[in-house]
Amino acid sequence: MLKTGRNDACWCGSGKKYKNCHLAFDQRIENYEIMGEEVPDHKMIKTPAQIQGIREAGIVNNQILDIVGEHIKAGISTQEINNLVHENTIRLGGIPAPLNFEGFPKSVCTSINDVVCHGIPTPERILKDGDIINVDVTTILNGYYADASRMYCIGKVSEEAEKLVRVTKESVDLGLKEARAWGHLGDIGAVISEYIYANGFTVVREIGGHGVGLEFHEEPWVSHIGTRGTDMLLVPGMVFTIEPMVNAGKADVVQDSKDGWTIYTKDGSLSAQWEYTILITEDGPEVLAR
Ligand code: MF3
Ligand code: CO
Ligand code: CO
């Protein structure tokens, strides 16, 4: 791609000349790069119009997860959750991103107990008292993607399950606080993993968060076991997910060889996950979907 000329229109769509808009911003990033930092390229920095589109997708995504929360209870099947997500997404003008994504057969992921993520809804799996379930909803609205997941406790769950769900949520909120412009992506994973291990749980290594917005999964990949001051520079306009998967037992996971999707804990222990889509701004992170 040719470098934008000083008097050309800025890439952000403001209509201003580049020299009066994002030139200084781009030079700041370039200086970090010269100093040896890993920096995002333009594809990872959203324009104000794109951010507004993702924000609106996030509002719909939040509404869908709220609706799930109102209906989820012992006795309903994961297929019924799927139908609830599918029908409400369409009603609100969106498209459920999981459906047919790389062959995924349903409109939402439902991951119960020892399922870490990517659980496939079925009419046979009925929620029962004591289950913990992650419902992971991704909405496409006007071409923009927002991705978030929540845990739901069904009836009375064990003390361990309750703690796992709570600590996982708390870790995402701690990670969020580290999502600072001109900080590092590794700061987020560092605080998350420190908090999780301090609470006696483990963090899944193989699956991470991701850039999101114009596609389902974009760069960068977001590790939940980072090191402070390392990994990509965080820059205003970046949109990505924080979505740690936290196991009560060992961190190892296995994939279902029959359906090719479902990820389980290897030792059969419980697993929890929460996911936000966030935007980096000069004034701190904005949660676009939660
Ligand atoms: N929503 C998941 C994530 O947080 C991805 C699910 S892929 C699917 O990245 F195909 F299983 F939907
Ligand atoms: Co995600
Ligand atoms: Co998700």
Q: Which residue's structure tokens are 């008097």?
A: 7
- Using DSSP, state whether 148 is helix, strand or coil: strand
For the chain, percent helix, then strand, then coil, each to nearest 5? 30, 25, 45
**CATH numbers and ranges of domains, the chain:** 46-289 (3.90.230.10)
Provide the token pair at 170. 């708390």
Which atom of ligand 1 is least distant from the CA of 101? 10
Report pLDDT for 242.
Answer: 99
Q: How far is the CA of 224 from the centre of ligand 2 (A)?
A: 12
Which atom of ligand 1 is least distant from the CA of 217? 9
CA angle 56, 135, 78 (to 5 degrees): 125
pLDDT in tens, 106-158: 999 999 999 999 999 999 999 999 999 999 999 999 999 999 999 999 999 99
Report pLDDT for 78.
Answer: 99
Is residue 2 predicted with pLDDT exceeding 90? no
Q: In the predicted model, what is the mean pLDDT of residues 245-273?
A: 98
Q: How far is the CA of 235 from the centre of ligand 3 (A)?
A: 22
Report pLDDT for 71.
Answer: 98
Residue 216 Cα distances to 12, 62, 138, 210, angstroms: 21, 17, 8, 9
The phi, psi pair for 281, rounded to 5°, reads: -130, 165
Q: In the predicted model, what is the mean pLDDT of residues 39-58?
A: 98
Pocket of ligand 1 (CB under 6 A): 98, 101-102, 104, 109, 118, 136, 138, 147, 241, 243, 275
Q: How far is the CA of 38 from the centre of ligand 3 (A)?
A: 25
Q: How far is the CA of 34 from the centre of ligand 3 (A)?
A: 34
Mean pLDDT of the chain: 98
Q: Give the sheet arrangement for strand 276-281, strand by strand.
A: 218-222, 209-211, 239-242, 276-281, 284-289
Quick check: 165 and 151 in contact, CB under 8 A? Answer: yes
Q: In the predicted model, what is the mean pLDDT of residues 220-230?
A: 97
Quick check: 261 and 118 in contact, CB under 8 A? Answer: yes
Provide the token pair at 1. 């791609």
pLDDT in tens, 199-222: 999 999 999 999 999 999 999 999
DSSP 79-117: HHHHHHHHHHHHHTT-EETTTTGGG--SSSEEEETTEEE
Provide the token pair at 82. 């799927």
pLDDT in tens, 146-189: 999 999 999 999 999 999 999 999 999 999 999 999 999 999 99
- Residue nearest (by alpha carbon) to ligand 1 atom 12: 98
Q: Is the pTM of this model over 0.85?
A: yes
How far is residue 223's CA from residue 210's CA, in Å, rounded to a whole number?
A: 9
Quick check: 144 and 57 in contact, CB under 8 A? Answer: yes
